[in-house]
Structure 1
Amino acid sequence: MKKIIRVWDLPIRLFHWLLVACIIGSLITIHVSDSAVELHAYFGYCILTLLVFRVIWGFVGSRHARFSSFIPNRQSILNYLEGKSPQFLGHNPIGALSVFALLFALSVQVVTGLFVDDEIAFQGPFAKYVPNAVVSILSEIHEGNQVVIYALIALHILAIWYYRKFKGENLVKPMITGDKEIDPSEEANYLPSDLGHNSKDGVLQRVLALLLFVLVAVAISYFITR
C-alpha cells in the first residue's frame, strides 16, 4: 500500500493555479488589441499580489512551501546532477532554481509594468513619479523580459513532460491534490525526515493564508489607486 504524504498545502496550490491563469490572461490581453491593455494591467496587479503573498508564505508557510526547505547550493545541485542525492518530496535543486528564476522574472515584469507608459493606451500608476528617461528604460525592460518569461515557462513545461515520460513521475497531480504517493519499495530513496513530516494544511493554516492574501491585496490596491 502506497504511503500518502501531504506535500503542497492548499494556499500553495491555489497560488500556483491562479498564477497560471493570470499569466495566460495577461499574455492573451496584451496581444488582443489596445483596448485590452487595461485588462492586461489588472492581470499584472493580480500577479503582483500573488507574488508578494508567495514571498511571505515562503517564510511562514508549511514545510515544503518555505524557501528554507529548497534553497539550492552548488553541492546539492552537483549531487543531484550526478545522481548522488536522495529523491525529493518538494522541489529538487534544479526545480528550485527554475522556481526562483520564474519568480524573479515575473517580479521584474510586474514591477516594471507599474512604470510603463506607451503614450497611447496605458500609463502605469507609478510612471508619473519618475523621469521620462526612467520610464523609457523600464518600459524596454518590461517588453524584453517577456522573452525570458516565455523561455522559463517552456522549460517548466518541458521538465514536467520529461519527468512524466522518462522518470514516471507525475508532477502535476500533487499540485492538484496536495499529496504525493510513495511506493514502499521507494521509501529508502527519500530522507526519513521528509517521509515523517506532512506539510501542515489545516484550517488555521488556510485562514492565516487567506488573511495574508487579503492584506496584501488591500495594500497593493491602496498604493496603485492612491
Structure 2
Amino acid sequence: MNTENIKEREYIFVEKYVYDPILRILHWVNALSIFSLMLTIWLKNLLKPYDNWKEILYRYHILIGYVLTAGIILRVVWGFIGPEHAKFKNMINWKAYLKLLRTRKYDTSENWGHNKYAGLSYIFLFILMLYQAYSGLYLAAQKYEMSFFHYFVEYSAIKTPFAKLLSNIHEIVFYMTMIFTALHVIMLRFHEIISKSPLTQAMCNGIQYRKKNKS
C-alpha cells in the first residue's frame, strides 16, 4: 500500500483499490446517459426550426433512454452479485443512521467505499431511475412503438389517463434527477475541500485515499 507524506499535517494519506472496473464503467455510462437525456431537453430550441422537431427530440431521448435502462438494470444486478464495495448492502450504514438519531451528531470517521450517509441517497436514486426506465419504455411503446413494451401496450396518438400520469411523474423525477446530479457534484467538491483529499478520481481508477494519523 502506497503512502504519501503531507507536510505540516498530523496525518498521512493511505490509498486502497475500492471500485472495480465494471462498477466504474456502469457509473460513467449511467452518468453520461443522464446528462445526454438532459441535453435532449435543453437543446430543444435548436431543433424548433424543423417541422418534426418534437419527433426528432423524443426519438433521440428514447434511444438514449435504452442505454440508461440497460445501465441501471446492470448496476442493480451488480449491486447484488458484485464485489464488496459494489453491493447495495455496503451502501447502507445502519449504525451511523441510528447514532445520528440517538445523538444528533454525524459520524465523521472515514470509511472505504461510498459515504456512509450518501449511500442511502444513491439507492433512492436507483429506485427513481427504475421508475424512469419503466415509464419511459411504456410511453415510448404507446406513442412510437419503440420499445418491447409495444407487445403489451396499444399504440395511441392520444395519451390515456394512465399514460398521462406516468408522463407527469416521469417529468417530475427527471427534474429531481437534475437537482440530485447538481448536488452530487457540489457535495463531492465540498468534501474534497473539507477533507483536503482527492475523491473524484476514485470512479476513474478505482482508488480511494483516506487520512491516517501519524504513528
- Whether TM exceeds 0.5 here: the answer is yes
Distance 1:124 1:137 in 2: 20
Any unmatched runs of 5+ in structure 2? 4-13, 48-53
- 2:197–2:209 CA contact under 8 A, matched in 1: no
Higher relative contact order at CA 8 Å, sep ≥6: structure 1 or structure 2? 1
Letter in 1 for 2:61: H
Displacement of 1:101 in angstroms is 2.0
Distance 2:180 2:107 in 1: 26
Where does 1:28-43 land on structure 2 (aligned, <5 Å)? 28-31=39-42, 32=44, 33=47, 34=54, 35-43=56-64
Q: Quick one: which of 125, 129, 147 aligns to 2:153?
A: 129
1:140 maps to what in 2? Answer: 168
Distance 1:6 1:117 in 2: 40
| Correspondence 1:27 to 2:38 | yes
Distance 1:113 1:39 in 2: 12
CA RMSD after TM alignment: 2.7
1:149 maps to what in 2? Answer: 177
| Correspondence 1:171 to 2:199 | yes
Aligned residues: 185
Displacement of 1:117 in angstroms is 6.1
Once the two structures are aligned, what percentage of the paired residues are identical? 23
Task: Judging by fraction of residues, say which structure has more helix.
Answer: 1
Structure 1 counterpart SS, 2:117:
helix
Distance 2:25 2:106 in 1: 32
Letter in 1 for 2:96: S
Q: Quick one: which of 92, 95, 112 aligns to 1:89?
A: 112
Distance 1:71 1:140 in 2: 30
Where does 1:140-219 land on structure 2 (aligned, <5 Å)? 140-185=168-213
Q: Quick one: which of 110, 119, 122 aligns to 2:133?
A: 110
| Correspondence 1:55 to 2:55 | no
Structure 2 counterpart SS, 1:4:
strand
Letter in 2 for 1:55: V
